[in-house]
Chains A and B, each alone.
Chain A
Amino acid sequence: MNQLDFGIVIERWDELLHGVALTLALSTAGIVCSLIIGVIGVAMHRTKNPLLQAPVIAFVELIRNTPFLIQLFFLFFALPLLGVRLNPTITAIIALAINGGAYSIEIIRGGVESIPRGQIEAGAALGLSSTQIFRDIVLIPALRAIYPALSSQFILLTLTSSVCSSISASELTHFAQRIESETFRSFEVYFTITGLYLLISWLIMTALSSIGRRHFSYPN
């Protein structure tokens, strides 16, 4: 038992690669939903209507100051009580979306607030339509400003998705735990998937920064 033996990892390599694909799918779904929550949250916050603002602030503070694991467990047990029966993977996506959503609201809000009012007024003075003002003066510059922060938030969410193994969601860590419990090769299995996670975050980072260079950076 004390000898390292990576044979089992090679033997079940296909299963691990399948896990990588599922982790990518799980986190992509979580990221997309978290962005939607982020945009809706910021829109609610910007209405200046206390009835819409207060829930957003409470949501952000509550989620950012409690562990993801507890949020995941709470949701896992709360949904069936509400009569909603979902498989663990869907529950995991909802939990990731809620957690990432709170951070996205903070990041997007920061970006939108960084646009000076004078810039919007200047757009209006130049006779731009409100759609043009929103797209070219608010949205795109704001996205440029927050793109790096949003990118690292996406990677963090992907790494956090490993915690979803604790409700048996289908992803890489869960597959690794299954292999581990059948073979007792804990170190070898976790060492290998740590390398796979490193590869995943490197891939996402490379993809995001090349998208960023092309679409979200200022000329030269």
Chain B
Amino acid sequence: MMIGSLVLLGEISQLWYALPLIVTVSLVYAATRHERMEPILAHALRFGGWIGGFMLAILLVILALSSFT
């Protein structure tokens, strides 16, 4: 039961590769919505937080599911 979770946790280190992508996607998306740098950065921070939160929620669901298998 726990083996699945352990394997999954081992794979989590690969999630670091998502970090630069989250930063880039947030900044570029925010830059298409604003012209000045201040609102761009504020929007990017908010949007990046949403993406990170969403990914974390999905990860927790997968961890919970894997603990039952």
Answer yes or no: are A and B bound together in one complex: no
B-binding residues in A (CB < 8 A): none
A-binding residues in B (CB < 8 A): none
